[in-house]
């Protein structure tokens, strides 16, 4: 129960890595604001937390929209009294080779990942700075290092690494740690959608990804949630501005 008395806000918390992170925080004692673009999946995760005896609130929020993001943070504070952890998992992919990538593919991905992370961090620091306490963890990706068909996504995920380093410098004096995690292939709806779109059987896609991975398996949402929990714990109290790759190898 290392997070008793802490309040966490997880965007994209209704599914995949965000849902696993919300559950992990709750099981270690935190009150959790589970946020997602649709209330349905967020409420499912929040109900599971409450059924397990935890405290959770589901909030629908499109992270691309400043007004919705600011209202979400305000609801977190109104409901639980403070905000200690921000984890930004909201995300989409719109893959295309450069010659086929449309403005919509570009704008959708950049707005969701890059602008969404900026808006959430800006709203959260308004609460964390006066508290003189906070932990932010942003979701980057191995795609930040380059990945075919992902000009938009790789640019956003590399940008998020720069944002984490910059905010670690700006917010460090207020006792706020800012880090990024960069997962490789994690088994979620997002990677399942890649299989569907490319017409590859999901089991085959996973098998190929596992063979490329030194630990010889694909990642699970819980693998990422564990590292996020570590970065929000006092064990990582002197870690800031770092990118931790969670991809079963170097
Ligand atoms: P996921 O299962 O698809 O979950 C992402 C969630 O974000 C979904 O519930 C999605 O809603 C929501 N979302 C999309 N647009 C949003 C918006 N504008 N505002 C608020 N929420 C929004 O994906 P995941 O695999 O858990 O990914 C979580 C994060 O990890 C993402 O940032 C992703 O880029 C990153 N990541 C994933 C992997 C991987 O292999 N899975 C690897 C590296 C990094 P809808 O389902 O309705 O769209």
CA angle 179, 26, 109 (to 5 degrees): 45
- 59 contacts: CB under 8 Å, gap ≥ 6: 33, 34, 35, 39, 42, 72, 75, 76
**65 burial type by CB count under 10 A (0-12 exposed, 13-18 middle, 19+ buried):** middle
Instruction: Give the residue numbers spanning the domain of 119.
Output: 7-186+220-246
CATH (domain of 114): 3.40.50.720
Structural domain contains residue 39 = yes
For ligand 1, residues with CB inside 6 Å are 11-12, 14-18, 36-38, 41, 61-64, 89-92, 112, 139, 141, 183, 185-186, 188-191
Distance from Cα 15 to the centre of ligand 1, integer Å:
7
Structural domain contains residue 110 = yes
Taking alpha carbons only, the member of 17, 52, 54, 53 closest to residue 33 is 54
d(CA 152, CA 98): 9
Half-sphere exposure of 230 (CA within 13 A, CB side): 12
Q: What's the N-to-C CA distance of the chain in angstroms? A: 31
Distance from Cα 45 to the centre of ligand 1, integer Å:
15
Distance from Cα 193 to the centre of ligand 1, integer Å:
11
The pLDDT value given to residue 125: 98
The pLDDT value given to residue 197: 86
Structural domain contains residue 177 = yes
- Residue of 10, 13, 14, 15 to test ligand 1 pocket, by largest number of atoms within 8 Å of CB: 15
- 103 contacts: CB under 8 Å, gap ≥ 6: none
Structural domain contains residue 152 = yes
* Nearest CA owner, ligand 1 atom 19: 62
Interaxial angle between packed helices 116-131 and 151-171, expressed in degrees from 0 to 180 and rounded to the nearest 10:
10
Structural domain contains residue 94 = yes
| Contact yes or no for 23/47 (Cβ under 8 A) | no
Q: Which residues pair with 57 in a beta bridge?
A: 33
Q: How many domains does one find in the chain?
A: 1
Tokens for 86, please give them: 């921000």
| Cα-trace Rg, the chain | 17
Structural domain contains residue 178 = yes
Kindly give the number of the ligand 1 atom that is closest to the alpha carbon of 183.
43
pLDDT digits (tens, 9 = 90+) for 181-236: 999 999 999 999 999 988 999 999 999 999 999 999 999 999 999 999 999 999 99
Tokens for 131, please give them: 């508290």
Percentage of the chain beyond pLDDT 90 is 99
Distance from Cα 173 to the centre of ligand 1, integer Å:
31
153 is catalytic: yes
Kindly give the number of the ligand 1 atom that is closest to the alpha carbon of 93.
34
Kindly give the number of the ligand 1 atom that is closest to the alpha carbon of 224.
30
Structural domain contains residue 208 = no
Structural domain contains residue 125 = yes
Sequential pLDDT tens for the chain (250 residues): 999 999 999 999 999 999 999 999 999 999 999 999 999 999 999 999 999 999 999 999 999 999 999 999 999 999 999 999 999 999 999 999 999 999 999 999 999 999 999 999 999 999 999 999 999 999 999 999 999 999 999 999 999 999 999 999 999 999 999 999 999 999 999 999 999 988 999 999 999 999 999 999 999 999 999 999 999 999 999 999 999 999 999 9
């Amino acid at each position: 129960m290392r997070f008793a008395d802490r309040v966490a806000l997880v965007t994209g918390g209704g599914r995949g890595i965000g849902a696993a992170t919300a559950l992990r925080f709750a099981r270690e004692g935190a009150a959790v604001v589970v946020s997602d673009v649709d209330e349905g999946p967020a409420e499912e995760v929040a109900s599971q937390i409450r059924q397990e005896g935890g405290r959770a609130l589901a909030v629908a929020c499109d992270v691309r929209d400043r007004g919705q993001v600011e209202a979400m943070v305000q609801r977190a504070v109104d409901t639980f009294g403070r905000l200690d952890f921000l984890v930004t998992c909201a995300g989409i992919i719109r893959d295309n080779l450069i010659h086929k990538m449309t403005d919509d593919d570009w704008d959708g991905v950049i707005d969701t990942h890059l602008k969404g992370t900026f808006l959430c961090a800006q709203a959260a620091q308004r609460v964390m700075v006066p508290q003189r306490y906070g932990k932010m963890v942003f979701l980057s990706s191995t795609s930040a290092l380059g990945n075919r068909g992902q000009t938009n996504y790789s640019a956003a995920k590399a940008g998020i690494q720069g944002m984490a380093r910059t905010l670690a410098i700006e917010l460090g004096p207020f006792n706020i740690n800012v880090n990024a995690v960069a997962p490789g292939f994690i088994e979620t709806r997002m990677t399942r959608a890649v299989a569907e779109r490319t017409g590859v059987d999901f089991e085959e896609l996973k098998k190929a990804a596992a063979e490329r991975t030194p630990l010889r398996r694909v990642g699970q949402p819980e693998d990422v949630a564990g590292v996020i929990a570590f970065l929000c714990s006092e064990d990582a109290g002197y870690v800031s501005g770092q990118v931790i790759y969670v991809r079963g190898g170097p």
